[in-house]
Structure 1
């Protein structure tokens, strides 16, 4: 590999590290123009395309990387992310299993595994995965943040808050830790402190999706109706995808049982309407939450200028 190509690779890697994904995509393509047989370049391009939500291109690049190098773990992890965002959870975890079979001490893969398991609602398995990552690299900040997120998901607010505050004390510009601390404050009912933390996070990274989502949630929880709605949406989100389906099925089964037995037990019509209300709350919590939060965020951004380069 020529010196110019090495420099182009280094530039693409640096842009990726700085999260300048648009520029990194062009840099990786410049590398592949010079030499289309570099598996790591295809895998790096795939990772950047994922961050830009361009899943078809990301899957194609990751697949090409594996054709060139069947054990390229970066490409495997890119495909795992594609599967995850396309709701193929089992396939995503299976791909991570392949990565860990090649390198059981891959901290990034263990972090990703913990995130996938946490999303599925498998708290203990997520805790085990991130604990293993911390045994390999005890000071890894991404692992420490994921450990705090697992504690938060399990309802261990005291432990999660202590871990998040430690991370913020070490680096006050850690956006992920600020957002997590804001979520914990919101869970405790300290809405003003949560708002202060989310604004601090957005002043550092005005495009951070988690911070923007938290801001919408904080604004929702500042009034009674919005607060009740936010609790419903949070409950459904914490169920995880697997238990969410069971919850929906249980509601439907309960409703059908009530309809079939109302005459026999001479039950009040109110019972049927309570199930209808539960279904409406379920539907709103799943489908309307994203739209409502997005509208709140857009309205808030019209009033405040988060940073000079927003």
Structure 2
């Protein structure tokens, strides 16, 4: 590796550019300098400039290095076949070029040629075992191929080798969560936070995983740290407010929501948390809760959660007569299902609303749609759908 490439590898991009410019000033045909400037242009997304620089470098004859850059350009332009051929041309000249095996593997996986991609990525790791990115991508492809144990082993090797490589912790945690191994997933994220304290993506994932474990303490700690780090991030603040509500800290949650509103920060999730605060008051401020949900619906025109929750609220608000809010609940829940027809929650709530209206046929139709969805049988949603179906069958 020449000195310019060493600077690139070390992340010293400005110095690499300065050195390359000096070399080109003395010799406009300096191939190594042209290649490095081409790579820097690619980093900046300047494809036309990169192609022009590479053409000057290739004018002196192609090399494995120019071949790798040519493949990179083709890949960025979406020309997968061209890129794949370029990587294979490099390997024909230099069979031990790890970057070419890696690039070939990435092109093959994009073309759904998983076995060949695994072979190429494995070879890249063998040739450059110290390159964490190569091993990480191998782990990802192994997981996608259903080779979970191998994929997790690769990701564990990455974090052992490069403890601050955040994507490896996230990928391993996601893979474990997909197997319902939430305890192990949480341990991976906590390990990552020891290596990279207060890392936002790790904190966000730890909040979610801990909630799945009903570990409110860890979720709250992670959410608090993330919210402190991102004081104007609507999602981070809404997450903290929701966890405060789960802990019974209604006034604190309301303060978070109102503080964000005073700063002009608003989102569907924040308004949903605010609505829950109003409903949790004694006596409940139903009118303010309804208004907050309506604002949430407006903030997220494609979001279904605020509409679904508003429909549920309208179904349970005490009223005289009892069905006073029922027509509006149906309208809102129909909007929720329009926004997210694939979600079972608004469909089931709409079925409940129609059942209360006495429209049993419509309710039966909707609940059967819910039961036809791939719902886990041990969920509250599935149990509720089964109960409603049995009730309607007796009607």
TM-score tier (shorter): 0.5 to 0.7
Partner of residue 31, structure 2 = 39
Q: Residues of 2 paired with 1:159 and 1:37: CA distance?
A: 46
Aligned residues: 214
Match of 1:131 among 122, 142, 152: 122
Deviations 1:180-200 (A, max 9, x none): 324424544547557656767
Change (3 A) 1:140 1:88: same
1:109 aligns with 2:137: no
Q: Give the CA deviation at 1:171.
A: 3.4
Mapping 1:140-151, distance limit 5 Å: 141-151=132-142
Change (3 A) 1:170 1:104: closer
1:93 aligns with 2:84: yes
Partner of residue 73, structure 1 = 64
Mapping 1:119-268, distance limit 5 Å: 119-136=110-127, 141-188=132-179, 190=182, 192=186, 196=190
Task: State the SS of the aligned residue for 2:140.
Answer: helix
Q: Residues of 1 paired with 2:48 and 2:207: CA distance?
A: 35
Change (3 A) 1:221 1:142: closer
Change (3 A) 1:49 1:172: same
Gaps of 5+ in 1: 1-8, 225-272, 279-310
Change (3 A) 1:22 1:192: farther
TM-score, length-scaled by structure 1? 0.56
Q: Which has the larger radius of gyration?
A: 2
Task: State the SS of the aligned residue for 2:164.
Answer: coil
Q: Which runs of 4+ in 1 moved over 4 A?
A: 134-142, 191-204, 214-224
1:50–1:78 CA contact under 8 A, matched in 2:
no
1:39–1:72 CA contact under 8 A, matched in 2:
no
What is the root-mean-square deviation in Å for CA atoms of aligned residues? 3.6
Q: Residues of 1 paired with 2:45 and 2:168: CA distance?
A: 24
Q: Give the CA deviation at 1:139.
A: 6.0
Task: State the SS of the aligned residue for 2:96.
Answer: coil
Q: Residues of 2 paired with 1:13 and 1:194: CA distance?
A: 34
| Higher helix content, 1 or 2 | 1
Q: Give the CA deviation at 1:33.
A: 1.7
Q: Residues of 2 paired with 1:178 and 1:85: CA distance?
A: 27
Q: Give the CA deviation at 1:154.
A: 1.0
Instruction: With a CA cutoff of 8 Å and minimum separation of 6, indicate the structure with the bigger relative contact order.
Output: 1
TM-score, length-scaled by structure 2? 0.45
Q: Residues of 2 paired with 1:29 and 1:104: CA distance?
A: 32
2:7–2:16 CA contact under 8 A, matched in 1:
yes
Partner of residue 251, structure 1 = none
Change (3 A) 1:21 1:143: same
Q: Give the CA deviation at 1:146.
A: 3.1
Q: Residues of 1 paired with 2:76 and 2:203: CA distance?
A: 23
